[in-house]
A and B are shown apart, each in its own frame.
Chain A
């Protein structure tokens, strides 16, 4: 089957998320792969937002623009999103209106036939289930899972609401809704970046998070705070991002794997702390959930605008690592890797995500087989005289934590000697300490993974991307292939240090980025001396999609 796209649109507070989640879970349970993403305004009520659900047999975790089915909860939503509908698509609306739409008064049905307006959302899901040709039983199983905690009565009312919606759609849609999604045997994991990262952190041995709430990273500290006992992670809401990173550094020095999470504006405040982590050689993981800037930008939208900022964050010269996850499974893996590498090299590791990756739910056949946490703390009993910054060929000194043993652990933000005491011995230890820190960078570089290569010899050009745009680039390549345009992909998820890597010669390179200035292009130009045939950007706050990439290639590069 071809993937279907169902878009649910409505004002904030009308429940599009509830409808979206229940429908997504039902489709997953039916054995399909689902990719669900939201775009919403920065407000609590009102506005017009959408929740898109892409359904298919195999995971295709990129947003689709055009809609097969649009469910509008109000007239404004219908107007705003109608343009997305495919020619043969169907608009289902709460209100009567334009020709050709199917009007189902969810609210009225809920009030008159179920017993309360609050069941309108379930009426809507019932209708959608019918339109998609899925059994009511599958939906009921999801309703049970969702509402059983609220008591028998609420659950029963939801069953009834679903049934009423289902029946009404059955009656009104007729042959205008040809879709059918019979049950399948496969079961996919359905998970978002902000759900994967906290679990990965706990699994990686993280014991401490301090953060200041900021979209789109807030979900990470929320999840860890909720699961405090189960995960064993202490979570604190700091007074600001400066406190957040310094608290995390204190915990890291104190022997606990520690992290913080923020977005661009908060990250800006953390920069002095990143430099402190570099100087004191304290392991720290920082999740930077990107959204469009500068300043407050578009708080609830997506972007890949902080790559160079992350790479350059912190004054002075010191090693750090920057990773950018491509999807929640990769985010899980990268989170574990971030903790391992921070610990091994005693450096800050920045994990880049963005609003799309943070909030969207992706499907995976197998969400398993992750790296194990690896610990690098030294064994105090093996050390006679402890020096926190002992010089070594690879720059890595044995790390102990205070109170672990009789050894004293002294760290300093000033330049220091091997024991961690302030020094201004310019002709002696100062230079050696600079070199020691930078030596770690060399070793670290040898451990960086090369980019993913997806291309054959006969490609006309290669799209070079990074982070969360991977599924969209792959889809773009697929769409171009249908037009006999052969494109390939080189995709980076480990961006600093850049790996030793040889780009293929004699083939045009394009970068594809969710930003306006082509930050990856700039980075690769300066590090590899590459030149790019073109750069393909999106910077309107919305994610890259396969369709967008395809259309941009057409617009900019007609002769391909």
Chain B
């Protein structure tokens, strides 16, 4: 049985002291303990940004790629080796900005991965420019007169396009987030968790602002009800609902058909083409 220490990495942490990212890291480790996953069974994939550094702070397989491109990489890994538990760790700039196209197509493609977005509503690593989720009116170095384009609500987009697992967590509610992550990983196909992670250096509002508004979904929330889910996905000035917003019957996952018809296991373990088979194929090209 793994413990939290199982996942301790000795890479030096580069986050600001006190950053809510530490809470997310803790929640991820706890989730893997609960899921009883060994480090070599886990593969974390990330792009660029503060969130994208997380895989280094966990002992596991990792692919830290390019800005916005983690989802395609993770989709490829999942096809190549379906036995791995593959998670994308990304931020709002990474996933909703640079990688927005890939995220939307991942909803269609439905790879069996979990996408966890550290949503701090800001570009932190490039020092505080607006991100696709920065609230209207925020003045930033590039948004000199204040943000005047509408922020994205990606959970709503995911729900309307029938992503079959959509949740929102809060970096300061570690155990709650852990429970969401455990369910997300278990869910076949794409599971998506947007995590509110107030940045204490560049953030738009103090952590307390979020703490006052975060509201755990109660037993009465029917996550199978799309309309109710959409309602809960909405963030207002008063409440930020967290929990599993939407969960429905899994759709057939990316490469499912290939796996059922060709191979269930890692592609690297498939037998090579025989010389006879090649000969037979080439013979068709002699008219």
Please report A residues at the B interface, Cβ cutoff 8 Å: 24-26, 28-29, 142, 145, 187-191, 195, 199, 202-203, 205, 207-208, 210, 228-232, 234, 236, 238-240, 242-244, 246-256, 258, 272-273, 276, 280, 367-368, 373, 377, 401-414, 420-422
Contacts and interface: CB of A to CB of B under 8 A. Distances in A.
B79 to A, nearest CB: 6
A90 B285 CA distance: 30
B182 interface: no
Interface in B52-104: 53, 55-56, 59-66, 69, 72-81, 83-84, 101-102
25 contacts: A24-B287, A28-B287, A142-B287, A191-B285, A207-B270, A210-B76, A229-B262, A234-B267, A236-B79, A246-B72, A247-B73, A247-B75, A250-B45, A250-B72, A250-B79, A253-B77, A255-B266, A273-B66, A402-B84, A403-B43, A403-B83, A408-B59, A408-B61, A422-B53, A422-B56
B258 A422 contact: no
Contacts of B1: none
Given A205-B272, A236-B255, A250-B80, 16 more contacts: A188-B286, A189-B282, A207-B267, A232-B263, A251-B76, A256-B266, A256-B268, A403-B266, A406-B40, A407-B40, A408-B59, A410-B61, A411-B64, A413-B66, A421-B9, A422-B64
A532 to B, nearest CB: 38
Interface of A, secondary structure class, is: mixed
A228 B262 contact: yes
A415 to B, nearest CB: 11
B102 A243 contact: yes
Contacts, number: 200
A190 B285 contact: yes
Contacts of B286: 28, 187-190
A202 B273 contact: yes
Closest 8 CB pairs of A and B: A250-B76, A254-B80, A255-B268, A402-B61, A256-B267, A246-B72, A250-B73, A251-B76
Contacts of A406: 38, 40
A402 B267 contact: no
Contact of B267 (A203, A251, A407, A410): A251
Nearest to A30: B287
Given A207-B268, A253-B63, A242 B72 contact: yes
A199 B285 CA distance: 11
Contacts of B43: 402-403
A276 to B, nearest CB: 5
Given A403-B40, A403-B83, A250 B77 contact: yes
Interface in B238-287: 254-255, 258, 261-263, 266-268, 270, 272-273, 278-279, 281-282, 285-287
Contacts of B205: none
Contacts of B268: 207, 254-256, 377, 401, 404
Contact of B63 (A205, A232, A411, A421): A411
Contacts of B69: 242-243, 246, 272-273, 276
A26 B43 CA distance: 54
B128 interface: no
B2 interface: no
A231 B63 CA distance: 28
Interface in B16-48: 38-41, 43, 45, 48
B208 interface: no
A402 B81 contact: yes
A228 to B, nearest CB: 7
B186 interface: no
Contact of A402 (B40, B56, B66): B40
A247 B262 contact: no
A410 B62 contact: yes
B11 interface: yes
A326 to B, nearest CB: 18
B105 interface: yes
A397 B64 CA distance: 18
Contacts of A188: 286
Contacts of B78: 250, 254
A20 to B, nearest CB: 13
B40 A208 contact: no
Nearest to A417: B11
B81 A412 contact: no
B73 A253 contact: yes
Contacts of B255: 234, 236
Contacts of A367: 282, 285
Contacts of A244: 72
A254 B102 contact: no
Nearest to B83: A403
Contacts of A273: 66, 69
A513 B158 CA distance: 50
